[in-house]
């Protein structure tokens, strides 16, 4: 009788220990999922702050791993080997975590892919539930000027140099003989021969925006991207307003 009791006792303890171990593993994985999302949120914030401060897209991930942005010792807190993030720097991030650790565990995949712990990121599914090769985490830009700067990156090479820089780009800031960082100049191409418009950074949503009257009918993407209602003046002091579909003269 005692032998039977002891046998049952040890079996019960073993099963309880197994359940406890399983619960502990699940809790740890949940913490890892939440930590990875927090890391991705931190990267998204650093990405946006970098564009706002530097007026350009980061060249690579290491550019963000500084005291000013992510911190020079940034890494995944719980599992350092999962810190191998890669970017195409078009508001997208790919982590090894997506392709390895979560596949096959539907419950944790669902948590990771949901918006439960996300504010500045979102999970985008490009593949199938069984193939996440093309999935990525996207960034949500909140600052209006950063959104505008990001738009410029889609119409030309995004690297907002000083206008006095010898390397010419379609967009630049400050006049050639000035250190004024608050004015953006937009040209038709990288030769900087024909100026489309220029404006103070703090006026890009309302104006005034100075435009080249010779650019009419103003159908370039840069004009289309201007906010509805923004005021514009051409080089002859004629006043315009941006409407939903065009740029109209104000009489």
Helices (H), 55-177: 96-99, 106-113, 144-155
DSSP code at position 131:
B
User: In the chain, how many domains are there?
Assistant: 2
Question: Over pLDDT 90: what percentage of the chain?
Answer: 10
Rg, C-alpha atoms of the chain = 26
Residues 110 and 190 in one domain: no
Asked if the model's pLDDT at residue 189 lies above 70, the reply is yes
DSSP code at position 56:
B
Among 208, 195, 139, 205, CA closest to 168: 195
Q: Tell me the whole-structure pTM to 2 decimals.
A: 0.69
Q: Domain range spanning residue 159?
A: 144-249
Work out the number of other CB atoms within 10 angstroms of the CB of residue 36: 26
Least confident range from 3-7, 46-50, 155-159: namely 3-7
Residues 17 and 88 in one domain: yes
93, 43 Cβ separation under 8 angstroms: yes
Which of 139, 171, 200 marks a domain boundary?
Answer: 139
Helices (H) and strands (E) in the chain, counts: 5, 12
233, 210 Cβ separation under 8 angstroms: yes
Give the pLDDT confidence score for residue 2 in this predicted structure: 43
Give the pLDDT confidence score for residue 210 in this predicted structure: 93
Residues 150 and 135 in one domain: no
Residues 37 and 129 in one domain: yes
Helices (H), 100-211: 106-113, 144-155
Which of 121, 139, 157 marks a domain boundary?
Answer: 139
Give the dihedral sign, CA 182/186/187/189. positive
């Amino acid at each position: 009788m005692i032998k039977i009791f002891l046998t049952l006792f040890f079996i019960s303890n073993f099963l309880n220990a197994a359940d406890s171990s399983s619960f502990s593993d699940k809790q740890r994985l949940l913490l890892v999922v939440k930590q990875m999302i927090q890391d991705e949120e931190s990267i998204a914030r650093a990405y946006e702050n970098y564009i706002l401060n530097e007026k350009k897209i980061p060249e690579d991930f290491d550019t963000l791993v500084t005291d000013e942005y992510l911190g020079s010792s940034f890494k995944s807190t719980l599992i350092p080997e999962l810190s191998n993030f890669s970017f195409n720097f078009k508001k997208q991030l790919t982590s090894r975590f997506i392709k390895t650790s979560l596949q096959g565990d539907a419950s944790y995949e669902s948590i990771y892919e949901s918006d439960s712990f996300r504010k500045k990121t979102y999970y985008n599914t490009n593949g199938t539930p069984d193939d996440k090769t093309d999935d990525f985490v996207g960034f949500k830009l909140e600052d209006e000027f950063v959104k505008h700067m990001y738009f410029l990156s889609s119409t030309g090479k995004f690297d907002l140099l000083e206008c006095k820089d010898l390397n010419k780009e379609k967009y630049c800031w400050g006049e050639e003989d000035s250190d004024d960082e608050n004015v953006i100049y937009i040209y038709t191409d990288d030769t900087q021969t024909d100026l489309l418009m220029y404006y103070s950074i703090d006026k890009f949503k309302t104006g005034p925006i100075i435009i080249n009257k010779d650019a009419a009918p103003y159908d370039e993407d840069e004009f289309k991207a201007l906010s509805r209602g923004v005021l514009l003046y051409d080089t002859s002091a004629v006043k315009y307003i941006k409407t939903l579909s065009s740029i109209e003269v104000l009489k």
